[in-house]
Structure 1
């Protein structure tokens, strides 16, 4: 089960691939400034994950209006994430949890997905400016998407 609402969000520093190379992204840098939406997804280059990230990329302006930064996290390498993002015009900041420390900290490990190994479960969190979890959801299966209406409602509070 995902960590519950009301708990302090576990901080992390994960890699993202930019045009300038690899860059560290630290969750706590948003504290005191912006809310953060974390979208955990199992694997790049898969159908449901591609659809989710393309849809959310198209709605980034909605999150911006709500004062939120959106990060999408998977266990893929930052290089695979970059290739996937380019191929599918994904505009979200993709973070690599290759060592699986963040998915464990948020308790969203999906064991042995399709027999290939542990990945992130599909999950969503809204982290307030204060670093507290305001919304937490882990979907029943990797094929189910988070409730994006509820996510945006949590941000609007």
Structure 2
């Protein structure tokens, strides 16, 4: 079951590209956008995250911290982050495999990867906006901008 606005955001702790744990509960008091994506280095995912990278000022000016999550291993995410110059956290939901994606209702159980789900979480830990797109369908930057305007 996918989470929807008004639901409390499930807490998690995942390693970033340096192996440093990022704990969602530690980010209380600030707004957070959690962006799940299937795979590092894939065409659609690269396009989506590069678009977020190129528009990061929209998120920063709205006071929103961006966390991008996939089931890829830390080492893959680190190489991808270095290649693409992402200035936001890439988190690994590798093991237990897809546990956080499952908690948010966006794990494709048959294929073992996250779906394209995004969750805007307010400073109190409540989901204020979400979108889950089917396989192969990009998320729209304008939808993110509209959500940012509401928080």
In the superposition, the TM-score normalised over structure 1's length comes to 0.88
> Unaligned 5+ residue runs, structure 1?
none
Report the CA distance between 1:149 and its aligned residue: 2.1
Q: How many pairs does the alignment contain? A: 148
Aligned residue for 2:27?
30
Deviation at 1:65, TM superposition (A): 0.2
1:55 Cα deviation after fit: 1.1
Which segments of 5 or more consecutive residues in structure 2 lack a partner in the other structure? Answer: none
User: What does 1:1-157 correspond to in 2, within 5 Å?
Assistant: 1-18=1-18, 22-32=19-29, 34-98=30-94, 99=96, 100-112=98-110, 117-141=111-135, 143-157=136-150
Q: Distance in 2 between matches of 1:148 and 1:54?
A: 11
Runs (4+) of structure 1 exceeding 6 A deviation are none
Q: Aligned equivalents of 1:147 and 1:29: distance in 2?
A: 28
Root-mean-square deviation (Å): 1.3
Q: 8 Å contact 2:51–2:141 — kept in the other structure?
A: no
